[in-house]
Amino acid sequence: MMSRRLWVYVAVLFMSAVALGLLILPHQDIVEPLPLVALVLLTVALGNMAIELPFAVSMSLAFASVFAGILYAGPLGGAVLGLASSVSLQEIRERKPLVRILFNMAQLFLAGLLAGWVLILAGGRLLSSADYSSQGPVATLLAPTLAVLVFFVLNLAFVGVSLILRTRLTVRQTLDAMNPGSYWVSLLVLALLGYAMAHLISISSWFGLLLLVLPFTMARQTFRVYVELTEAYTETVRSLVAAIEAKDRYTRGHSERVAIHARQLAASLGFSSAEVGLAERAALLHDVGKIGISQTTLTSPVQLTPAEVRQIRRHPVIGADLTQDVAFLSDVVPIVRHHHERVDGAGYPDGLVGSEIPLLARVLAVVDAYDAMTSDRAYRPGMSDDDARVELKRVAGSQLDTRVVTAFTALLDEPSAEVDDQ
């Protein structure tokens, strides 16, 4: 179930959007509406074409057309195109919760509206106005730059608050998960694209606009091929892990279940799609080091000796060693190595404390512990879901990251988080 506080937050955003819209928009005029209509159609199309840029950041081309609308029509353009960019056929097909759809509509409307308002306050002239040619070089560069920053910061703030309400992460943890610093290159590229789009559309250069947008749509297809190749690698890893686990009926399917939960939890924490994929691959491979552990030790039905415990505790290091020399898998190494660290420093193999442990390793530690507790083992039956949740909360703050535990238990309440037995 969605938090009541999240619904209240979305309601406040929605009412703010309506109030500010009624306050600002009646004073906005447009000389020629056709370019704005064209931008709306283009924004809806581009909003359904999010691409994975090569620097591992997911961005939507729709930001370029939204920025073009801000330059062309100020607050009205920003509000209308921000709203248009929130329409996603994928979210409708995936039946995303209504609260998230309403949140996107409200926050993108507000970000576009206020970015356009700042553009005017900073002395910028709208491309739809007759006196645009009279604006000086400072307003030509400064005002649009401020508008971009306002849109980005507001979008970041609105999304960040929603993540805090959904996951109970701290502000610092939320910023770490969102990693806003990684977006600046794509933000600059898309802002420049929007700047060019605005000028082309203001002079009705439709063919020029097509030539400008076409290379980006082709780039999307190129990166789509890259994503498909990445998915093929992941499926290969999944098959290999399944083959390794098949020899032990007690751990069969463990890595697959952990991978599903890790992917869902990383997504709910606001990680980029590239990092969500990384969480999935790391979860699939987190126990691969057990291939170097004696089978009799792994399947022992009695309490392990101290020597056997030390042998078991070598598996994160073995797993890291096995994956570090494989180019495609090198990014999972720190997660695989540190998924048995504890936030109080009593974990292994390196005794890392708190934030020294990679955040995705802390995510993996929670979902791994949950699946281990709820699965049958040779030496004990699995816990019930309720008992496992109680145990997760008991060790939160000592063994596991408290806020990741809170986010995971909240995720388990959502029907989509359920995993069928393997």
Domains of the chain: 4-204 (1.10.1760.20), 225-417 (1.10.3210.10)
CB 106 within 8 A of CB 7: no
Q: What are phi and psi of 380, to 5 degrees?
A: -170, 155
pLDDT attached to residue 118: 94
pLDDT attached to residue 387: 92
Which residues, 6+ apart, have CB-to-CB distance to 352 below 8 Å?
338, 341, 345
pLDDT attached to residue 239: 67
Which residues, 6+ apart, have CB-to-CB distance to 394 below 8 Å?
none
Determine the residue type at 179.
N
Which residues, 6+ apart, have CB-to-CB distance to 341 below 8 Å?
347, 348, 350, 351, 352, 356, 357, 361, 365
pLDDT attached to residue 420: 39
One-character DSSP codes across 272-332: -HHHHHHHHHHHHHTTGGGGGS-HHHHT-SSPPPHHHHHHHTTHHHHHHHHHHTSGGGGGG
Q: What is the pTM of this model?
A: 0.62
**Comparing C-alpha atoms, which of 195, 101, 173 is closest to residue 405?**
173
Report, in angstroms and rounded to the nearest whole number, the Rg of the chain calculated over CA atoms: 25
CB 390 within 8 A of CB 352: no
CA 10 to chain centre: 19
CA–CA separation, 236 and 226 (whole Å): 15
CB 230 within 8 A of CB 62: no
Task: For the chain, 422 residues long, give each residue's pLDDT as a single digit of tens.
Answer: 446 788 899 999 999 999 999 999 888 776 677 888 888 888 887 776 655 443 334 456 788 889 999 998 899 999 999 999 887 776 666 677 788 888 989 999 999 999 999 999 988 888 777 555 556 665 678 889 999 999 999 998 998 888 888 776 777 767 776 777 767 777 888 888 888 888 888 777 777 777 777 776 666 666 666 666 666 666 667 666 766 666 555 567 888 899 999 999 998 887 877 788 889 989 988 888 888 777 777 777 777 888 888 888 998 999 898 888 777 778 889 999 999 999 999 999 999 999 899 999 999 999 999 998 998 776 678 889 899 999 999 999 999 999 899 999 988 877 554 443 33
pLDDT attached to residue 117: 95
